[in-house]
Amino acid sequence: MRDEAALIAEFARDERLPPAFSDLAARLHRPLAARIAAWTATAERRPLVVGVCGPQGSGKSTLTALLAWLLEARDLRAAVLSIDDLYLSHAARQALAREVHPLLATRGVPGTHDPALGVAVLEALGQPGPVVLPRFDKARDDPAPEAERPVFDGPADIVLLEGWCVGARPQPAPLLADPINRLEREEDADGLWRGYANAALAGPYRSLFQRLDRLVLLLAPDFEVVRRWRGQQEERLRQRLIAQGRDPDLAMDETQLDRFVAHYERLTRWIAEDLPAAADVVLRLDAERRPAETF
């Protein structure tokens, strides 16, 4: 097995993470990778599918990327998939916006992904041979062209499926009655949009989430912190666009961001209430993304 400390240092450098990250990785990522390896050893089917659910900007893609490195160092083949890569195209969401509800134009809530694509990719990852993984380009707000999609050489031992609503269960109908923020009050007064998202969770998303063997749940201190974390993400996107010589205004400004995260508020709050009881590992993060408990 490759030296984990050296691997973590390399990862932190590549990802430009703060110096304190190495300590965190020793307390969190290393033991979590060991736990996932142990789950894999006793799993009844391959690949073992581990869901990583956490609010926007909570650090899911960083966590899963490092876990994949650590698992590979243990000679386990680990693929990472994000539910964000299953978003419907811009045109498909525009069609939903016309036909069902205007708020479905914005990517995010259940109903704006293609869960059947996720099921098909998980299935393909269980077979030998190359699998072209889906990729969504947030600056274009559209799936990336095939040439930009990564290829995983299957079969995978483990798939880490990360996303802000991975494993979410529908809300009981009475909880849908009252709007929870201004967006819902002003633009979904009759509850059609939130009802559609909830029905999607109860329907097509169930087939994807039923495939999860294990669930790791990250929780934010509160929704204000989620807004801040998501803002940091967008700032990174802006910097990346500048570095690539692309238009930085493809990233959202503060007003757009407030409206964007309002779409996520209901389900983010519901997940924090409902999923801890169902998760295998629950990590309560502070505002600096540090878990309160040692693992």
Ligand X SMILES: Nc1ncnc2c1ncn2[C@@H]1O[C@H](COP(=O)(O)OP(=O)(O)OP(=O)(O)O)[C@@H](O)[C@H]1O
Ligand Y SMILES: O=C(O)[C@H](O)CO
CB of residue 237 vs ligand X: minimum separation in angstroms?
A: 9
108 binds, among ligand Y, ligand X, none (CB under 5 to 8 A by kind): ligand Y
Q: What residue type is 230 in one-letter code?
A: R
| Position 56 contacts ligand Y (CB under 6 A) | yes
Is the preceding omega at residue 155 within 30 degrees of 0, hence cis?
yes
| Position 29 contacts ligand X (CB under 6 A) | no
| Position 93 contacts ligand Y (CB under 6 A) | no
Q: How big is the site for ligand X, counted in residues (CB under 6 A)?
A: 20
- Residue closest to ligand X when measured from CB atoms: 59
268 binds, among ligand Y, ligand X, none (CB under 5 to 8 A by kind): none
58 binds, among ligand X, ligand Y, none (CB under 5 to 8 A by kind): ligand X
Is the preceding omega at residue 134 within 30 degrees of 0, hence cis?
no
| Position 230 contacts ligand Y (CB under 6 A) | yes
State the Cα–Cα distance between residues 152 and 136, nearest whole angstrom: 16
State the Cα–Cα distance between residues 287 and 275, nearest whole angstrom: 20
| Position 289 contacts ligand X (CB under 6 A) | yes
Tokens encoding 67: 């876990």
Residues 6 or more apart whose CB falls under 8 angstroms from that of 123 comprise none
| Position 164 contacts ligand Y (CB under 6 A) | yes
61 binds, among ligand X, ligand Y, none (CB under 5 to 8 A by kind): ligand X
- The DSSP line for 36-48 is HHHHHHH-SSSSE
CB of residue 260 vs ligand Y: minimum separation in angstroms?
A: 7
Q: Binding ligand Y by CB under 6 A: which of 29, 30, 101, 107? A: 107
Residues 6 or more apart whose CB falls under 8 angstroms from that of 252 comprise 234, 260
Q: Are 269 and 184 in contact (CB under 8 A)?
A: no
Q: Binding ligand X by CB under 6 A: which of 36, 53, 58, 165? A: 58
- The residue with tokens 């505002």 is 287
Q: Are 131 and 19 in contact (CB under 8 A)?
A: no
β-strand partners of 51: 161, 215
Nearer to ligand X, 71 or 101 (CB): 71
Residues 67-86 that bind ligand X (CB under 6 A): 84
60 binds, among ligand Y, ligand X, none (CB under 5 to 8 A by kind): ligand X
Identify the CA nearest to 59 among candidates 106, 19, 24, 9: 24
State the Cα–Cα distance between residues 95 and 102, nearest whole angstrom: 9
| Position 21 contacts ligand X (CB under 6 A) | yes
State the Cα–Cα distance between residues 66 and 144, nearest whole angstrom: 23
Which of these ranges, 3-11, 127-135, 139-147, 226-234, lies near ligand X under the rule CB under 6 A? 226-234
Binding residues (CB under 6 A) for ligand X: these are 15, 17-18, 21, 24, 54, 56-62, 84, 164, 230, 232-233, 236, 289
Binding residues (CB under 6 A) for ligand Y: these are 56, 84, 107-108, 138, 164, 230
